[in-house]
Amino acid sequence: MNMKICVIGLGYIGLPTAAIFAKAGFNVLGVDVNENAVNLINKGEVHLEEVGLPEVVKEVVDSGNLRASLNVEEADVYIISVPTPIHKDYTANVDYVVSATESILPFIKKGNVVIVESTIPPRTIDDVVAPIFEKTELNVKEDIYLAHCPERVLPGRILIELVENTRIVGGYTKESAYQAAEVYRQIVKGEVIETQAVTAEMSKLMENTYRDVNIALANELGKISAKLGINALDVITLANRHPRVNIHTPGPGVGGHCLAVDPYFIIEKAPELSPLISNARKINNSMPNFVLECVQNTVNKGAKIAVLGLTYKGNIDDVRESPAMEIVSLLSENEFELSIHDPHVTEDQVNFPLNTFEDAILNAECILVLTDHKEFKELNEKSILQNMKKPLIFDTKNCVRITNKSIAYYNYNNVFEMKNQKENLELISK
């Protein structure tokens, strides 16, 4: 295990990747521009939440197999795992990928393997990354092995799936695909498939686009059912009894750095040929406003809303592209009083105050569940009845179990009833 690996970008994918290679016995250097993250990692600590990651990082830092730095060093393998955000016009911003690639130019040598794990639009390896190496004296097709190997893991299971999942390795050349695949075969128990770079780029994008489109179908069903007075969740349960049907569950929208972003990378390359993908994005982006409308149908302007959850999915701390964050902004803009609780998020991440559950629900007129954290599956019903101004829950994640009938509970199975809720409460108060 004399091979040295340099992982550039120590975020939700880069740090677990570095940790897994270090645990396998490789000499790993992790590089990031975040000085706080670098300092924490070198102390055997982590700056993000992922199941099992703190223990593995401490183990490999203590063993000397992993260290972090602000600067790139000479290595045998370079893995680029930096973000690819989107511009305001929904086109990909590959500046971080370009910057990370350029950072290794002073150290690159013949025989090095360079792998871009960052999610990128089709042809980025061919048209953007490969030309960067022309600034050196090396021939990118013969002297180095350039490839794209997209991550395909589920937050909460990243350490498991980095090892067990099939990996797709797309090479700039056939030999590049082979050499990069050999790196992953040192740690991956699943199949490692070699292909062209552009095919690997597109396959990752289509994996997430497929999911985004199917979620859009469920969200559209939820909105139609709300208008027609239909129990959407019952419809989905019954339709899914068909052996070839698997409809998703509607929710507050789509978030995260993959599903909410990747489809745009396809759209920008062929906008005239991607109306289905574009419309799916529009449907999913419309859900925060739909949630706002449901709340407005339920309580008066100025009412206190207890918001539970800010992350885009349960049991993680990732708020990137989270529809919950947009919903909070919409509620605030529409003059609702907000008290927010998320046990997985810190105030530093979101730049506004967070509360305990008890403080959040005190004198609230509605609990709005936006994330399916395990802590929200069973709420303290006694506390809700004692402390809320009106014991009412709108569960956009369909995850809360309520047994006391004195608590008004709404999800996508009875969301249409919320239109009458405010009127009924006003009559009762009179």
- Count: domains in the chain: 2
Residue-level pLDDT at 333 = 96
Domain closes at, from 204, 219, 253: 204
Domain closes at, from 156, 185, 204: 204
CB atoms within 10 A of CB 302: 10
In this structure, is residue 224 part of a structural domain? Answer: no
Confidence of residue 428 (pLDDT cuts 50, 70, 90): very low
Residue with tokens 């409308």: 293
DSSP 126: I
Domain identity same for 293 and 192:
no
CA distance 195 to 199: 7
Domain of residue 177, CATH code: 3.40.50.720
CA distance 141 to 174: 10
289-310 pLDDT per residue, tens = 999 999 999 999 999 999 999 9
Distance from chain centroid for Cα 175: 32
Average pLDDT (338-342) is: 97
In this structure, is residue 366 part of a structural domain? Answer: yes
With a threshold of 0.75, does the pTM exceed it? yes
Residue-level pLDDT at 430 = 44
Range of the domain at 104: 4-204
Domain identity same for 163 and 312:
no
Backbone angles phi, psi at 182, to 5 degrees: -65, -30
47-73 pLDDT per residue, tens = 998 999 999 999 999 999 999 999 999
In this structure, is residue 371 part of a structural domain? Answer: yes
Domain identity same for 294 and 154:
no
Which segments within 176-264 are labelled E, that is strand?
192-196
In this structure, is residue 234 part of a structural domain? Answer: no
Domain closes at, from 173, 204, 235: 204
In this structure, is residue 212 part of a structural domain? Answer: no
Residue-level pLDDT at 420 = 65
Domain identity same for 40 and 147:
yes
Which of the residues are catalytic? 204, 258
Domain identity same for 66 and 196:
yes
100-142 pLDDT per residue, tens = 999 999 999 999 999 999 999 999 999 999 999 988 999 999 9
The proportion of the chain whose per-residue pLDDT surpasses 70, expressed as a percent, equals 97
- How many alpha carbons lie under 13 Å from residue 311 in its C-beta half-sphere? 21
Residue-level pLDDT at 69 = 98
